[in-house]
Structures are given as C-alpha cells and as structure tokens.
Structure 1
Amino acid sequence: MNQKILAIDIGGTAIKSGLWENEALIELPSFETPKTWDEMKAYLKILVEKNQITDGVAISAPGAVDAEEGVIYGVSAVPYLHRFPIKQELAEFLGVPVSFQNDANCAALAELWQGNAKGLESAALMIIGTGIGGGIAINGKLRPGSNLFGGEFGYQIMNNDTLETLSDLGSPVAMSERFSKIKADGREYTSKEIFDLAEAGDELAQEQINQLYQALSIGIYNILISLDPDRVLIGGGISMREDLLLNIEERVQKLLLKKGAKELKASIMPCKFLNQANLIGAVSQFLTEQA
C-alpha cells in the first residue's frame, strides 16, 4: 500500500521537510525554525493541508526523545519542544498519526533501513556536527538505552585534567571557535577555511585538525572495544571529506595495535545518507510504529 507521509527534521535554526511517497523522498523547501510551539503547529498544519497528508507526519527532533511515551526530555536549541505530551497534542491538532524520534537516532534508522548498516546485526553511528551524537543498533534494531542516552558518544570524557568531552574536541564547530580564538585576528574561521589553511602549511590549523582527528579516533576506538560492532558509520557534513576517513582509519588501527586489540577488525565507513538521513529515518520510525 502506497503511503504519503510528511517528514519533518527540526533543527535549531531551520526545519527540513519532505514527502515520502512511492518508496522515495521528495524534498520540500526548508524554513526557519518557528520561535514558539504555536507557530510551529500552525506551520505544520499548513504543510499537512497543502500536501493533502492523510497517512501521517514523521518527525526527527533534537533532545532525549521517548518515542513510546511521546515526550521529549533533555535540552536542545528548540526549548519549547520539551517535557509535555508533544506527540499526542500534535496528532490531535493535525488530525493524523504522528511519530517522534531523536535526530541522531533517525540518522541511524535511515542507515539500518536503507543505508550502509542494512542487514548488519550491530552497528554504531557517529554524527559529527555542532556536537557529536549517534545511535547504536543491536540485533538490527535501534538501542536507545534505559535513559535514552544510547549513542550519545559526545559525552565521552577525553581529557582527565580539563574534563573536555568528545563534543568539545571532536566537533568541527568547536574546532573553528577554538582556532579563531587562538588566532585572534578578528576573524571567525569556518572548519573548511581551517582545512584549507592546514593544506597551505598553517601550523596552528594543522595542530587543531590533528587534535580533531585524534579525538574522533579515540572516540571510535572506545566504541569499538566497548561494543565490537560489525561497523562504525560516520555522518555529518565533515564525513564527506575523504581525508577524514583515511586519517581516522589509520589512527584507530594504530590505537588498537598499541593497546593489544589488533584482532579487532574495524569496519569504518561514511553514512550513505547525508542531508536526507534524518527525514528518511523519521519515516522508518513512523512506519515501524504503524506496522
């Protein structure tokens, strides 16, 4: 049976949307994240009516999403989403079934369903962005954890003295802020500019990128020796850089060898889905709930 589902990915600054129809996603224009919950509901109502959605709305959201309870705990850049029965309220307002799942978990679901984790028994997915999130799959199913912290790899403490986390040291956004602060020339550098400077021989840029790669490699090493998954997938915009994967693979292998875990065969790959991952994963969550 062909279904027409509205897929929504709520971000701190923008909201992506798409239509799932005929087993494929058609992207719709993105729009600025509304300032209030009432504005958000009103905009979703317009999308539902305009696109004649009768089957349902699948939502990828930030925060600690309890998909079953229909409540979003934790904190996020969209504070009005938290700690009330959001799923029930929105379903009643829109008049169609609604599903919610955490954005990083949605990316993991997309890879499990139709991506580079399809058919695997276990996989860990690391999404590298402003912070570092992720997802864990065991027996082919998402494992959100007892407290919805499954896959929150960014919380790993990487420095015993400063208590800096993987999100602090492995995020390209955090690296950009740190580089700009140390450079102190009045400019705010992007991570792409820092990579370009490193290639041109800038020692500070090279040092910061080395720190980024090492933090990510230690994070992945920790995942490998803790979970021993069939595969670790890397997502986020930076995953498109070929040198990222080559550097991380080499560093992880050295860490495994150095620490006596050379028999552990690490399969590290980029995600299949990039910009559409959260939308496709949201649809997967919706279809699972409706099955």
Structure 2
Amino acid sequence: MKAYMVFDIGGTFIKYAVMDQAAKRLVSGKFPTPKEGLEAFLQQICDIVKEYKDSYELQGIALSSPGAVDVKTGSIGGASAIPYIHGGSMTDLLRERTGFPVSIENDANCAALAEGWLGAAKNADYYICIVIGTGIGGSIVMNHTILRGAALHGGEFGYMIMGGSFQAGKDPLQSTWSQSASTNALVREVEMKKSLTQGSLDGEEVFLLSEAGDPIAQESIAHFYKGIAIGIYNLKYALDPEKILIGGGVSKRGEVIEGINRELKLLKDEISTLHIEVEACQFDNDANLIGALFHFLKAHASSGI
C-alpha cells in the first residue's frame, strides 16, 4: 500500500504522520521544533523518514510550513517563529538527503485544501477560509487550487484597512482587520477596559467571563462579532465565494459562528441583497497534515506517485 510521510512544521512542535492516499493516519507523533538551527531540523526530519521507510511503501514527503511558501522553488519567504527555515529551497534540501520527492505548502493553505478535499467545503468549487487567531489570515481556493497572488499574499485578509481608519491624526495601518477584529484584539480590548496588564487574559478566559455574566466581556465579544462580520461582508462582495469557512481555535465555539451570522443578517438590506453565512472548518489539529498530503498528491498526480 502506498504511503506518504507528512510533516506539519510549527513554532513549538513538529507533528508528523504516515498517511495513506485517503489521509488515514497509519502512524503519528510529534517532536519539539529544534532550536539549534537548520541542520538539527533537517536531521530530525530525516531520522523520522528513515524510521518508517522500511515499514511502509513511502512515496514521498509532504510539508506544511509557516511563512510565504513558494511551491515552485520550495523556498520559504516572509517571517515566522522559526527563522532558520527561511531562505533556500527546503524541498531541494530534503530531496537530496532522503531521495524522496518532496512538496511544501503554507500551513493556512494546507488547512484550506483539507476542507475542500474532505471537509466542510468538499462540495464547493470556490470558497474562502478565514483563520482567526493572533491575527487574521486565510486562503482563497478555486477548483482545489490556491489563488496565491503575484506576491504570494493572496488570502492575507488581515491586512484590510477597516472603517474609521481615516480619522484625523490616526494612522490607517493601525486599524487593519487583524488589529481590530482578531482574537488577540478581543482579548486586548477586554484587558484595556478592565485596566489589566497586557497578557493577563486569553481568548478562552474572555469567553468564560462572558458566560459568567461579565458585562465588559459580553460587550467586547459583541463588538468582536460585528468587526468580523463587516470584513466578511466586504470579502463576499469582492470575491463572491460559494462558501465562507471560519477556522482558528475560536471557531470551535458554536456561539461564535452563531454570533457572526447574526451580525451578517443585520448587514443585509434593500441594497445588499446577497445571503451571507459562514460555517466552521471541520478539521482542527489534523488539517495541516491532510492538506499537505492533498497538495503532494495533486502536485505528483501525473507521475502516479
């Protein structure tokens, strides 16, 4: 049976799995992301591949990575919590060391591809995924293909400048969607209103405060839903996707999807007649692994690997 070695590179841990062509995990695990540098990173990847290559009919290696990934060259641009992965071709380095074909894709794009292959968007030809966390990112997918953009920034929705940015003396770049409507922005708003030190709360604690009846948390969450809804409204009219999926840890709370959809209904009037509704992404921890595998299979479809 054909099998594939798949890695999800994160700032704290690197998750891995041996998967079959249907994304069934045959083996899985994780190890701390090496701090020593590129050589230690490559050696750890190669050691994992070596451990399983004799037990499974490995066909190749699929990587999910942070940063601005160039899937053609295998290089990782931009910045991330792992500085040493940026620069040369990661696919070339691992191909030379292991002898296996290697593919690489951005982690947010992998999550989006997973949804289109086996998840919440599997019946959609054209959809977008919006990932809400420390900032806001995402992907635009058409016919199982990521729309990357000329500078590989397609889907960087968090850079949109939101309303109220042009007040006198206010820097519009301080009012991006990421800075005004991310989970981080929600937490910071509650901390400021409560005169707490930055870092005192996290997103889970803010929602627990709201559930306990805290008026500041409740007001800030309502503001959070409205800010997300306004950005989604803009994206719907700019891109008009079939589906809009919400990912990130906050999307696992059912009330978040309900709150965003409630605000989207309020934005509908005699001019804006489109029905706009969001759904939660289906996959969570395995999304990047599944999407990385799909990207590998698609990239090597003509070779029969």
Fold shared, TM-score > 0.5 on shorter chain? yes
- For 1:188-267, list aligned pairs within 5 A: 188-257=200-269, 260-262=271-273, 264-267=274-277
CA distance in 2 between counterparts of 1:93 and 1:177 reads 45
Give 2:84's aligned amino acid.
Y
Tell me what 1:122 maps to.
Answer: 126
Specify whether residues 195 and 229 from structure 1 end up closer, same or farther in structure 2 by C-alpha distance, changes over 3 A only: same
Aligned to 1:72: 76
User: CA offsets, 1:40-78, max 9 Å, x none?
Assistant: 111111110112263111111111111012111111111
CA apart distance, 1:178: 4.3
Q: SS of 1:279's equivalent? A: helix
What one-letter code is carried by the residue in structure 2 that aligns with 1:15? I
Alpha-carbon distance in structure 2 between the residues aligned to 1:275 and 1:43: 21
The structural deviation recorded for 1:103 is: 0.6
Question: Which residue does 1:51 correspond to in 2?
Answer: 52
Correspondence for 1:145: 149
Q: Which moved more, 1:186-195 or 1:149-158?
A: 186-195
Q: Which amino acid aligns with 2:123?
A: G
RMSD: 1.9
Residue number in structure 1 paired with 2:290: 280
Deviations 1:219-273 (A, max 9, x none): 2111101111100011111111111111111111222327x212x1224211111
Answer with 123-132 or 49-58: which moved more.
49-58
Give the 3-state SS of the residue equivalent to 2:140 in structure 1.
strand
8 A contact 1:170–1:215 mirrored in 2: yes
Tell me how far 1:26 sits from its aligned partner: 4.3
Q: CA 1:134–1:184 in structure 2 vs 1: closer, same or farther (change >3 Å)?
A: same
Contact 1:119 1:140 in 2 (8 A): no
Counting aligned pairs with the same residue, the percent is 40
Q: Which residue of 2 aligns with 1:25?
A: 25
Shift in Å, 1:110: 0.5
Counting matched residue pairs gives 288
Moved more, 84-93 or 106-115: 84-93
Q: Shift of the alpha carbon at 1:174?
A: 3.8
Question: Residues 154 and 179 from structure 1, CA distance in 2 versus in 1: closer, same or farther, beyond 3 angstroms?
Answer: same
Contact 2:113 2:144 in 1 (8 A): no
- Change in Cα spacing, 1:31 to 1:178, as seen in structure 2 (3 Å) is farther
User: In 2, are the aligned partners of 1:213 and 1:248 still within 8 Å (CA)?
Assistant: yes
Q: Which amino acid aligns with 2:225?
A: Y
Q: Aligned runs of 1:6-21 on 2, under 5 Å?
A: 6-21=5-20
Residue 164 of structure 1 aligns with an amino acid whose one-letter code is S
CA separation in 1, counterparts of 2:239 and 2:247?
Answer: 19
SS in 1 for 2:2: coil
For the 8 Å contact 1:134–1:152, the answer to whether it is kept is yes
- For the residue of structure 2 that corresponds to 1:256, the secondary structure is coil
- C-alpha contact 1:180 1:189 (8 A) present in aligned 2: yes
The structural deviation recorded for 1:31 is 2.1
Report the alpha carbon displacement of residue 22 of structure 1 after superposing the two structures with TM: 5.6
* Paired residue type of 1:42: Q
Q: How far apart in 2 are the matches of 1:146 and 1:89?
A: 25
Change (3 A) 1:216 1:172: same
The worse-fitting range, judged by mean Cα deviation, of 139-148 and 189-198 is 139-148
2:187 to 150, 167, 176: 176
Structure 1 residues not aligned, in runs of 5+ = none
The corresponding residue for 1:83 is 87
